[in-house]
């Protein structure tokens, strides 16, 4: 586990594209016991870690980590002054904001609060690389949508997309003008292999769903919406050959 955590921290730091030979001040979201922070320290950077678990922070203190530690809920925002950090990393933490642990928790609002405050505390033009384990495409879309609303550009880089164990998702966010999206790692260096990456922008995609390219109000769109309603336990009319068919205007 320690080796995996260290490798992911190394990959996240690589995706930040920090200036070579220059120590930077970084934020570690969901720092836990400080394993990622130890790697940042070994690379010559200074860091601050925030985590919601007092037990994990106590473990980090017992390990004599070099970074500063803060107890806090990232879903309530990042409590630092604007422009405080040169970059941000996070390992296996962001997906927890999609869960509602109590009735008052609204995942979309907590995600937006997190991303908007993260955008503020980063130096303009800085990057944030957030490694995560989304449960499904809907959860990943929810996360990227709130990041876009907060002002970020960027995209998702998927390393080893064809591997069940090694597959990793990295959300690469830019707090300034959109720049190039890093290439993912693959088990094969074959140039003909399909590259697994996706980008998102702040521009609206009219009449089509950006996720699947399905025309809004088409038969496929209507059937998909009815299927989601059924999974949610709602009473939905059965599908027929008339489902999704456009009605003629009345005279």
- Residue 35 belongs to domain with CATH number: 3.40.50.150
Domain edge (last residue) among 175, 198, 224 = 175
Name the one residue in this structure whose structure tokens are 């009473």: 235
Residues in the chain: 251
How many domains, the chain?
Answer: 2
pLDDT one-digit tens code per residue, 77-93: 999 999 999 999 999 99
Query: Based on the domain organization, do 80 and 146 belong to the same domain?
Result: yes
Spell 54-91 as b/e; 16+ CB within 10 A means b. Answer: eebbebbeeeebebebbeeebbebbebeeeebbbbbbb
Secondary structure element (H or E) that encloses residue 247, with its range: none
Q: What is the pLDDT at residue 244?
A: 81
Domain that holds residue 142: 1-175
pLDDT one-digit tens code per residue, 34-58: 999 999 999 999 999 999 999 999 9
Number of Cβ within a 10 Å radius of residue 243: 12
pLDDT one-digit tens code per residue, 192-236: 444 455 555 555 444 444 444 567 678 887 888 888 777 666 788
Yes or no: say if 134 and 95 are a contact pair by the CB < 8 Å rule.
yes
DSSP code, position 122: E
Yes or no: say if 40 and 26 are a contact pair by the CB < 8 Å rule.
yes
Query: Based on the domain organization, do 22 and 92 belong to the same domain?
Result: yes
Mean pLDDT of 180-190: 70
Backbone angles phi, psi at 215, to 5 degrees: -65, 130
pLDDT one-digit tens code per residue, 126-151: 999 999 999 888 999 999 999 999 99
183 domain residue, yes or no: no
Q: What is the pLDDT at residue 1?
A: 73
Yes or no: say if 50 and 31 are a contact pair by the CB < 8 Å rule.
yes
DSSP code, position 216: T
185 domain residue, yes or no: no
Query: Based on the domain organization, do 222 and 115 belong to the same domain?
Result: no
Query: Based on the domain organization, do 83 and 136 belong to the same domain?
Result: yes
64 domain residue, yes or no: yes
Query: Based on the domain organization, do 139 and 234 belong to the same domain?
Result: no
Query: Based on the domain organization, do 163 and 227 belong to the same domain?
Result: no
Query: pTM of the prediction?
Result: 0.72
pLDDT of 4 > 60? The answer is yes
Query: Based on the domain organization, do 158 and 227 belong to the same domain?
Result: no
229 domain residue, yes or no: yes
Query: Based on the domain organization, do 130 and 245 belong to the same domain?
Result: no
18 domain residue, yes or no: yes
144 or 242: which leads in pLDDT: 144
160 domain residue, yes or no: yes
Number of Cβ within a 10 Å radius of residue 187: 12
Q: Report the chain's mean pLDDT, rounded to a whole number.
A: 84
Query: Based on the domain organization, do 170 and 215 belong to the same domain?
Result: no
Query: Based on the domain organization, do 53 and 142 belong to the same domain?
Result: yes
């Amino acid at each position: 586990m320690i080796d995996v955590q260290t490798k992911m921290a190394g990959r996240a730091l690589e995706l930040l594209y920090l200036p070579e030979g220059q120590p930077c001040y970084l934020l570690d979201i969901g720092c836990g016991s400080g394993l990622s922070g130890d790697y940042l320290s070994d690379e010559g950077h200074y860091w601050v870690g925030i985590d919601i678990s007092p037990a994990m922070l106590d473990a980090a203190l017992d390990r004599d980590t070099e970074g500063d530690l803060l107890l806090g809920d990232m879903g309530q925002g990042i409590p630092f002054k604007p422009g405080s950090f040169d970059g941000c990393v996070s390992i296996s933490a962001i997906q927890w904001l999609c869960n509602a642990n109590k009735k008052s928790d609204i995942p979309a609002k907590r995600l937006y609060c997190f991303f908007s405050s993260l955008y503020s505390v980063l130096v303009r033009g800085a990057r944030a690389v957030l490694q995560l384990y989304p449960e499904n495409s809907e959860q990943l879309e929810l996360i990227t949508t709130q990041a876009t609303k907060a002002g970020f550009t960027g995209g998702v880089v998927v390393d080893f997309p064809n591997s069940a164990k090694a597959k990793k998702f990295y959300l690469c966010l830019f707090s300034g003008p959109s720049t190039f999206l890093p290439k993912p790692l693959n088990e094969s260096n074959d140039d003909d292999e399909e590259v697994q990456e996706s980008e998102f922008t702040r521009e609206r995609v009219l009449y089509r769903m950006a996720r699947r390219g399905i025309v809004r109000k088409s038969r496929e769109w209507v059937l998909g919406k009815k299927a989601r309603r059924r999974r949610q336990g709602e009473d939905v009319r059965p599908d027929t050959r008339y489902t999704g068919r456009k009605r003629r205007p009345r005279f």
